[in-house]
Chain A
Amino acid sequence: MSSAISTAPQSGAPLIYHLRDVVKTREAKDAAFTLRIPSLQIAMGEKIALIGESGSGKSTLLDMLAFILQPSEIGAFSFRPERDEQPLNIQAYWKKGKINELGDLRKRYIGYVMQNGGLLPYLTVRDNMNLCRSVLGLRPDGMVEHLADELGITAHLNKLPDALSTGERQRVAIGRAVAHRPSIVIADEPTASLDPYAAEKVMSMFIGLAEEFDITVILASHAWDHIKQLGLRRLTHRTIRNHNKMFTETVVTG
């Protein structure tokens, strides 16, 4: 069982995510896992940290927020990526099985950083960073070069990912998630495979970029220590495991 402090979303800013009573249940052979979200509100421009031990459901929550995992139950799930537009009802998309339309939303508004980069091995660093942009049909405007410069990977732009260190690959992944100027970047333990020093450096680069481009950030990590100085709002969660570990339930609010 663990718990954490939380602060309410900044008042005034519109809510980019608003979830109520969202549940994801996963059943394996002899273990069941339930993630419950009685209420979750994330305002535009917020930087959220989701801290928890392994297996507590961080990835599960992030995947639902990125529309790549369907919740088992939804009370309400609205998504408002544009300040001037009405919130979208994500529950309705899932209900009608509009996976492609959810993909279109993701393409337009969300950047996703995977734990181990998720770079395409057959594309150069430049093309990997350009992937989301080119899918959207954005013209080259120096953004990729600018990001590469900020992330310190300019020298690697024409290399394939195999030729990069893990930390460099994570930086490319961050660059890719930011390059098309999404409203939100979701990062699932982006620095888990790095040493603490490199992790701290990459993380501050990431937050720096998010601030530069005014991007909402949702970040999962199993350690608070190396990100506490970045000024993120921490989500509250509580994990209950029964004695023989047959059943785990995590409740997240914030």
Chain B
Amino acid sequence: MARSWSKIFHLAIRDYVHEWLMSICFVLALAAVLGPMMVLFGLKFGIVGAMVDQLIENPLNREVRPVGSGYYDHAWLETVLERPDVAFLVPRTRSIAATIELSSEHSPRIVPVELIPSDHGDPLLSPDDPLPEGVTRLVLSQSVAEKLKVAPGDTLDGSLTRHFRGQQERVHLPLSIAAIAPAAAFSRDGAFVSVALLEALEDFRDGRAVPSLGWDGDAADANRTYPGFRLYARSIYDVAGLRDAFSKLDVDVHTHTTEIELVQRLNRNLTSIYWAIALVGLVGFSLSLGANLWANIDRKRKELSVLRLVGFRTADIVWFPMVQSLFTAVLGWALAVAIYLVTALVINDMLAAQLETGQQVCRLLPWHYAIALLLTCTSAVLAAGLAGLRSARVEPSEGLRDL
């Protein structure tokens, strides 16, 4: 049994190589259909994938911002932070108090900047850069860094004033630059600082003492409340739920839900269009592959009859076209992958300028290739098996007569 199978395998290869021109034609015909289909899928996966990635990753869309100001204390913020759909939460101090004037020895300018509370895991900051820390380290927005002509590691002078006990009072504090924030993080003049520093500045402006910085004033209030907070949902899919939860707590929030829904709908529509095209392509592909293999086996009926005549069994004879179809399938797939890779390279290269680094317009994952191979082999074996069975069923004398 095993002998006749390996014998048939051997004969199938000999015939395949002998008819190399025909074999090449079949492989080309297969690759000509499969290659473009892979490009189509690559585009679908690349463009839509990048879009969704951007949506999910873009922190601006994940932001949930309270409208107006409230009185949020530590305990309340703590319970919000415990929610699984909240990725990042820091309290905000009063916005009038959250400013500082910065100057550097590299530049004659004095730049007033907004201060943004930050902490570990701030989605606006690069996770690879050092974070603002304590009351001395901050992360500058790019526009400030340019105006002051500074780089990470430089030291700045921060200053602010207050009217205290009837007098104008100005304090200075040294600030070191931990990092420069990405351009997209904050477009105005701003700096990311720790909540501790913001609290200190607010306390100073309110006429309270800040012992850590050596500033004089009244005793600090034990029950601190905050007028607002910076909150980011875990993903864009959690934004709508958070908004509803806040509205139950009578906290009005502003979210980007409409933008999110718009892009999600676009994504859904695009996906269904792609699937429709893919389905048509798939049917066409299966039919062309099946027709090709069927025609090929019909052509070989006489030779299959000769095999029958010398005593091969039905199963062996069906195996013969299946082996050849498998060759065609695997070679055609490999050629299609090559076509796809070249096309994808060209497309990605062409559009590289418009994309963020690492983004690709045309992209497939390893399992996409595997699925394409599996699909091709299955259709090939199925078509060849059916056709082979048909030719094996023909009475051998009939096949021999078609000489």
Tell me the A residues contacting B by CB distance below 8 Å.
59, 63, 66, 68-70, 99-100, 103-104, 106-108, 112, 114-116, 118, 120-123, 127, 131-132, 134-137, 160
Contact = CB atoms under 8 A, between A and B. Distances in A.
Contacts of B400: 63, 68, 114, 118
Interface string B302-346: 110010111111100000000000000000000000000000000
B313 to A, nearest CB: 4
B368 interface: no
A135 B312 contact: yes
Interface in B245-288: none
Nearest to B392: A99
Interface stretch (B10-18, B38-46, B228-236): B10-18
Contact of A103 (B3, B303, B306, B313): B313
Contacts of A106: 309-311
State the 10 A-B residue pairs at the shortest beta-carbon distance, nearest first: A107-B311, A122-B18, A68-B396, A63-B397, A69-B397, A100-B313, A122-B15, A68-B397, A122-B14, A103-B311
A34 B243 CA distance: 89
A103 B312 contact: yes
Contacts of B302: 118
Given A118-B309, A127-B14, 12 more contacts: A59-B397, A59-B401, A69-B395, A103-B308, A104-B311, A106-B309, A107-B311, A112-B309, A118-B403, A122-B14, A132-B310, A135-B7
Given A112-B309, A121-B18, A137 B3 contact: yes
A132 B14 contact: no
A40 to B, nearest CB: 18
B311 A132 contact: yes
B6 to A, nearest CB: 11
A103 B310 CA distance: 7
B7 A68 contact: no
B4 interface: yes
Contacts of B221: none
B19 interface: yes
A135 B4 contact: yes
B306 A118 contact: yes
Contacts of A120: 11, 15, 303, 306
Contacts, number: 69
A114 B4 CA distance: 23
Nearest to B10: A134
Contacts of A99: 314
15 contacts: A68-B395, A100-B313, A100-B314, A106-B311, A108-B311, A118-B302, A118-B306, A118-B309, A118-B400, A120-B15, A120-B303, A120-B306, A132-B310, A134-B7, A137-B3
A135 B8 CA distance: 9
B383 to A, nearest CB: 22
A118 B308 CA distance: 12
Nearest to B393: A99
Nearest to A105: B311
Interface in B1-36: 3-4, 7, 11, 14-15, 17-19
Contacts of B401: 59
A104 B311 CA distance: 6
Nearest to A104: B311
Contacts of B403: 114-116, 118
B18 A68 contact: no
B314 A68 contact: no
A127 to B, nearest CB: 8
Contacts of B7: 134-135
Q: Select the residue from B14, B306, B395 with max chain A CB neighbours within 10 A.
A: B306
Contacts of A114: 400, 403
Contacts of B18: 121-122, 160
- Most-contacted residue by chain A among B7, B14, B309, B312 (CB, 10 A): B309
B308 A68 contact: yes
A33 to B, nearest CB: 14
A177 B306 CA distance: 12
Contacts of B313: 100, 103-104
Contacts of A134: 7
Interface in B347-403: 395-397, 400-401, 403
Contact of B309 (A59, A66, A100): A66
Contacts of B17: 122
A164 to B, nearest CB: 15
A136 B14 CA distance: 19
A106 B311 CA distance: 6
A135 B310 contact: yes
B329 to A, nearest CB: 20
Contacts of A131: 310
A123 B397 contact: no
B108 to A, nearest CB: 88
B8 to A, nearest CB: 10
User: Which of B3, B303, B400 has the largest count of A CB atoms less than 10 A from its CB?
Assistant: B400
Contacts of A104: 311, 313
A69 B314 CA distance: 15
Nearest to B303: A120
A108 B17 CA distance: 29
Nearest to A100: B313
Nearest to B8: A135
Given A69-B395, A120-B11, A135 B311 contact: yes
